Amino acid sequence: MSRSAENYNKPEIFMPERFMDDLSHQLHISVNASIEKRDQFMFCWGRRMCPGVHLAEVQMFHIWVRVFATSTIVPPLDEKERPVYPDLDNCYDGGIIVKPLKSRLRFVERSDCLI
């Protein structure tokens, strides 16, 4: 769903900056939108929607703020000290969902830690 060329320019390319200034797709707005306008379905939709979606959004925001304020996420290094990036095309098809295979990341403490 998130790789639809109808919804995203160059959907096959990892471009997180496309979401940086988009305030129209906050989680609670997306949950309450019609199915055609939604960009994620992790809290279901309609009558089966999770009643705690608004609390979950606030909690996830606080978690990510703490992670990004205190660390930098970088790829692991190989034996020659070169970064090893995850293969985004290598994934496990679980039927309803597709999830990436195991990958490793390094969380490096920021020198300008904000918290």
pLDDT tens digits, one per residue of 36-66 = 555 566 666 667 777 787 788 789 889 999 9
Q: How many CA atoms lie within 13 A of 56 on its CB side?
A: 11
Query: How many C-beta atoms lie closer than 10 Å to residue 41's C-beta?
Result: 15
Which whole number is the average pLDDT over 89-100? 80
State how far the alpha carbon of 97 is from the alpha carbons of 12, 36, 53, 56, 92, in Å: 17, 19, 20, 20, 9
Confidence of residue 22 (pLDDT cuts 50, 70, 90): low
Q: Tell the residue number behind the tokens 């959004």, with chain if given.
A: 57
Rounded CA separation 77/12 (Å)? 25
pLDDT tens digits, one per residue of 67-89 = 999 999 999 999 999 999 888 77
pTM, entire model: 0.53
Q: Amino acid letter at 19? A: F
What percent of the chain stands above pLDDT 90? 23
Task: Lowest mean pLDDT of 27-31, 61-65, 74-78, 104-108, name the range.
Answer: 27-31
Which whole number is the average pLDDT over 5-25? 74
Q: With CA atoms as reference, report the closest residue to 115 among 71, 69, 60, 65.
A: 69
Please tell me the predicted confidence (pLDDT) of residue 81: 94
